[in-house]
Amino acid sequence: MRLAIIGGGGWGTALSIVLAPRFERVRLWVYEQDLAERMQNSRENDVFLPGARLKDNVAVSSVLAEAVEDAGIVLGVMPSHHARRVYDDLLPFLTEDMLIVSATKGLENGTLLRMSQVINDVVGNRFPPRTGVLSGPTFAREVVRGEPAAVVIASHDIGLARTVQAAFSGPTFRLYTNSDPVGVEFGAALKNVIAIAAGVCAGLGLGANTVAALITRGLAEITRMAVAAGGQSQTLAGLAGLGDLVLTCTGELSRNRTVGFRLGRGEKLAEILGGMRMVAEGVQTTYAAMELCQRLAVELPITLQVHAILRQGRDPRAALRELMERSLKDE
């Protein structure tokens, strides 16, 4: 089976490296033509993952038709706010026998759709797509160093999940199957919002007690939202929920935690984002999550305060005080 990876950021590049030994051929689509040409020649992504060398069987292209030609699995790793456009552009080159797996973490602004729903919305105009979602606690730099990592492949189509599990699993990259893509995608998206809050706490100089409480209550928020949308609570206790949440809230490689840290230190959001080359999905996801929680009538107090900091410029200490002084209740 041949693999096409759509998205040449840090995670897409890392996946091309770790999965290359499992496939005869991997094609990596990179949006920027100049970067794609440099990567093909130098065998390195000097923008998003410098120092990590591509395997010999990885071909880099900025042409979508070339990237997905004869692919058995199409793995989407583009930012969430570009997903619909990229899948629209991909549509003429997709076939019914391809397995389409989303590794994008986020919600679509406006529609509030999960990424697998975006795929169904776009590709369903031609044929019913076979879709799955890939998520779990992973930093690209650690994966390409060969450090052991475990993730989840979730799909309503258990045959697809098992096919991807067998194709992707290797000595340092272990996949577990799951039948709850709704829960997995909400865990993947909303953990970035909580990670911004965790970064704010670190920027304010707060310690482990605060972060532990934040992670625990953040998991409760994510679980409430996922269940209200049709997901299963036990999914959020696994790799795509608690596992990814802990990693993103505590790891210094987390872009969303970094945004929060700098906000906690008093920097302005526009300045922070203006200096970042890589995408911090949690910012846009916060806006979408606030709309969705109103639609589903779900209470998300941490997300509400993160939204106030991002959108209204609320002082982080005032946001924290409001969280702590809410009416008392049972756990």
- The conformational region for residue 174 under phi > 0 = left, psi -120 to 50 = alpha, else beta, is beta
Q: What is the pTM of this model?
A: 0.95
Q: Which helix or strand (DSSP H or E) is residue 158 part of?
A: helix 158-168
The Cα 127–Cα 210 span in angstroms is 48
Q: Interior CA angle at 76 toward 71 and 80, to 5°? A: 160
Catalytic residue at 191?
yes
Q: What is the pLDDT of residues 301-324, one digit of tens each?
A: 999 999 999 999 999 999 999 999
Please say if the pLDDT value at position 277 is more than 90: no
The Cα 254–Cα 280 span in angstroms is 9
Residues 6+ apart with CB under 8 A from 325: none
- Domain ranges in the chain are 3-179, 182-324
Angstrom distances, CA of residue 97 to CA of 1, 70, 73, 127, 158: 12, 10, 9, 10, 16
Indicate the CATH number of 182-324 among 1.10.3720.10, 3.30.2010.10, 1.10.10.10, 1.10.1040.10.
1.10.1040.10
The domain covering 3-179 belongs, at the CATH homologous superfamily level, to: NAD(P)-binding Rossmann-like Domain (3.40.50.720)
Instruction: Please tell me which residue in 55, 105, 191, 268 is annotated as part of the active site.
Output: 191
Position 280 scores a pLDDT of 80
Q: What is the pLDDT of residues 256-267, one digit of tens each?
A: 999 999 999 999
